């Protein structure tokens, strides 16, 4: 699957696509049939998993999508199709299919299993980013550059400190826990927590992307996106090399919070024993948010792995900003040579971030 209007969506593969969701819903129904047979509630011969799955083909997806409207969810037309095709092979199993379940049981389970895959893929991207950022922070702990606040030169810092700040954001995303929960038909905290975890990730990646976008401006040119020949090319100006990964990552960071807010709005609208609309708004929203997060995670890992740091340009910018950029230091410690700026706790901050990165590399997102 790919999305022409969301470049990079192919990185998410078949995650939560219509075909993937149908496949998982059939798996859930098969697992329930098996449980009914094993407990003795249903005296049936359970069809093999591939036999049940083989009853539906990709050609059925358009009709399932269309017919989902009449019942309000995609499971209802799927069950009608499964029963009709299973009846000629295994009448008893067709009669017991879905007994004791609700539509929400199956749809929620299918979506959560898709989200579990998304979380695993995001976690892998976070681990790759942690390694790249740890290397940058340590390698450039002495690389002097001009610090900037409110778009203006502030005091001298090191690029290692900036990379450590990026690393801290990624580590905060990596260490979110998503524990298992008991039934939650109208208590949607597990899904809002997943949505919030995804947005915490895109927030951290957006911060990195923003710094890269600023640093790659031609008048600054302290950071350069790496990549294959032709990456970042322009359709009209052959002289340009656009920081496309940073642009696309920022896009995901901007799109994530409104999607998570919609999941929260749905949770707040929950009523009775099954939400009337609040549940339904989750499905495509979670799919979009999950796919965007997986895509941005892979793009961020690739961006960091190939990021080039122009230390000479950083030093030149710092030199050109003197003596004004040293004004605060001179007011505190007059007479200190400008080539020996006070860097405060820079090394301690970098060391602390590196220690966190190596302390528990497997700790993090789980569900």
∠ CA 125-130-134 to the nearest 5 degrees?
155
18-50: burial string, b at 16+ Cβ within 10 Å, e else: bebbbebbbbbbbebbeebbeeeebebebbeee
Cβ–Cβ < 8 Å for 109, 87: no
Distance between CA 104 and CA 101 in Å, rounded?
8
Is 284 one of the catalytic residues?
A: no
Q: In the 3-class helix/strand/coil scheme, how is the chain assigned residue by residue?
A: CCCCCCCCHHHHCCCCCHHHHHHHHHHHHHHHHHHHHHCCCCCCCCCCHHHHHCCCCHHHHHHHHHHHHHHCCCHHHHHHHHHHHHHCCCHHHHHHCCCCCCHHHHHHHHHHHHHHHHHHHHHHHHHHHHHHHHHHHHHCCCCEEEEEECCEEEEEEEHHHHHHHHHHHHHHHHCCCCCCCCCCCCCCHHHHHHHHHHHHHHHHHHHHHHHHHHHCCCCCCCEECCCCCCCCCCCCCCCCCCCHHHHHHHHHHHHHHHHHHHHHHHHHCCCCCCCCCCCCCHHHHHHHHHHHHHHHHHHHHHHHHHCEECHHHHHHHHHHCCCHHHHHHHHHCCCCCCCCCCCCCHHHHHHHHHHHHHHCCCCCCCC
- Which residue in 181, 274, 284, 308 is the catalytic one? 274
Alpha-carbon gap, residue 118 to 276, rounded angstroms? 27
Judge whether 174 counts as a catalytic residue: no
Catalytic residue among 187, 217, 234, 308: 234
Q: How far apart (Å, rounded) are the C-alpha atoms in residues 23 and 53?
A: 7
Active-site residues, by number, are 234, 274
């Amino acid at each position: 699957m790919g999305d022409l209007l969301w470049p990079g969506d192919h990185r998410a593969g078949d995650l939560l696509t219509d075909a993937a969701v149908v496949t998982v819903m059939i798996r859930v129904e098969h697992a329930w049939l098996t449980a009914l047979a094993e407990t003795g509630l249903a005296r049936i011969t359970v069809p093999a998993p591939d036999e049940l799955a083989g009853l539906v083909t990709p050609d059925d997806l358009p009709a399932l999508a269309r017919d989902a409207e009449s019942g309000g969810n995609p499971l209802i037309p799927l069950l009608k199709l499964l029963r009709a095709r299973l009846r000629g092979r295994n009448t008893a199993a067709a009669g017991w299919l879905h007994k004791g379940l609700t539509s929400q049981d199956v749809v929620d389970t299918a979506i959560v299993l898709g989200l579990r895959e998304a979380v695993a893929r995001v976690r892998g991207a976070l681990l790759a980013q942690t390694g790249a950022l740890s290397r940058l922070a340590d390698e450039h702990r002495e690389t002097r550059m001009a610090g900037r606040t409110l778009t203006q030169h502030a005091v001298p810092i090191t690029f290692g400190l900036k990379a450590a700040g990026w690393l801290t954001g990624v580590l905060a995303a990596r260490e979110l826990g998503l524990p298992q929960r008991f039934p939650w038909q109208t208590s949607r905290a597990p899904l809002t927590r997943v949505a919030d975890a995804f947005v915490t990730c895109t927030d951290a990646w957006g911060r990195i992307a923003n710094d890269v976008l600023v640093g790659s401006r031609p008048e600054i040119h302290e950071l350069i996106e790496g990549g294959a020949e032709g990456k970042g090319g322009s359709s009209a100006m052959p002289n340009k090399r656009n920081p496309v990964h940073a642009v696309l990552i920022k896009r995901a960071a901007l799109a994530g919070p409104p999607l998570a807010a919609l999941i929260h709005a749905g949770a707040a609208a929950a009523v009775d024993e099954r939400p009337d609309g609040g549940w339904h708004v989750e499905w495509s929203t979670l799919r979009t948010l999950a796919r965007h997060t997986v895509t941005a995670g892979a793009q961020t890992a690739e961006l960091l792995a190939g990021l080039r740091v122009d230390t000479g340009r950083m030093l030149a910018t710092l030199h050109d900003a003197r003596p004004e950029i040293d004004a605060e230091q001179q007011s505190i410690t007059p007479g200190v040579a400008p080539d020996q700026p006070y860097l405060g706790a820079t090394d301690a901050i970098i060391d602390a971030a590196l220690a966190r990165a190596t302390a528990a590399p497997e700790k993090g997102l789980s569900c």
